[in-house]
């Protein structure tokens, strides 16, 4: 049996966390948290290969702070970041990409579309 790839989900909405678990847990090892502080702790110890990131999070920092943190550290700077957010304006997309997100997706997102982005990122 092959080892599941590690995905960090940084999302503060419980329903969205449940959606991600139902959609992804059979194929991937999921680490779920709702704040930048928790996400930084997971990144330090668990060999995260991909991050699914919301912009609005618990605590003072938003998802863009986490994206910049990831890009600033050599250990994680090649990690794929998928921004999945309800913030759907063009300037939100620009801010996400400038902060280091690889992909900008808006909520609600269809499960098969998300899986496609994840598989593309983890394979290629």
For residue 54, give the 3-state DSSP assignment.
Answer: coil
Q: What is the pLDDT of residues 36-47, one digit of tens each?
A: 999 999 998 868
The number of folded domains in the chain is 1
State how far the alpha carbon of 108 is from the alpha carbons of 2, 3, 10, 77, in Å.
31, 30, 16, 27
Q: Is the pLDDT of residue 26 over 70?
A: yes
The pLDDT value recorded for residue 33 is 96
> Which pTM value belongs to this model?
0.93
Q: For tokens 């194929």, what's the residue? A: 27
**The domain spanning residue 31 has which CATH number?**
3.40.50.2300
Q: What is the pLDDT of residues 79-90, one digit of tens each?
A: 999 999 998 889
Q: State which residues form the domain around 62.
A: 5-123
> CA-to-CA distance for 36 and 70, rounded, in angstroms?
11
């Amino acid at each position: 049996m092959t080892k599941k790839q590690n995905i960090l989900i940084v999302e503060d909405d419980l329903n969205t966390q449940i959606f991600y678990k139902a959609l992804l847990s059979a194929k991937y090892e999921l680490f779920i948290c709702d704040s930048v502080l928790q996400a930084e702790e997971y990144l330090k110890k668990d060999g995260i290969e991909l991050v699914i990131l919301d912009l609005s999070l618990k605590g003072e920092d938003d998802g863009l702070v986490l994206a910049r943190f990831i890009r600033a550290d050599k250990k994680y700077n090649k990690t794929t970041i998928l921004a999945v957010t309800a913030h759907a304006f063009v300037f939100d997309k620009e801010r996400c990409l400038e902060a280091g997100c690889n992909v900008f997706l808006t909520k609600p997102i269809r499960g098969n579309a998300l899986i496609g982005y994840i598989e593309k990122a983890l394979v290629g």
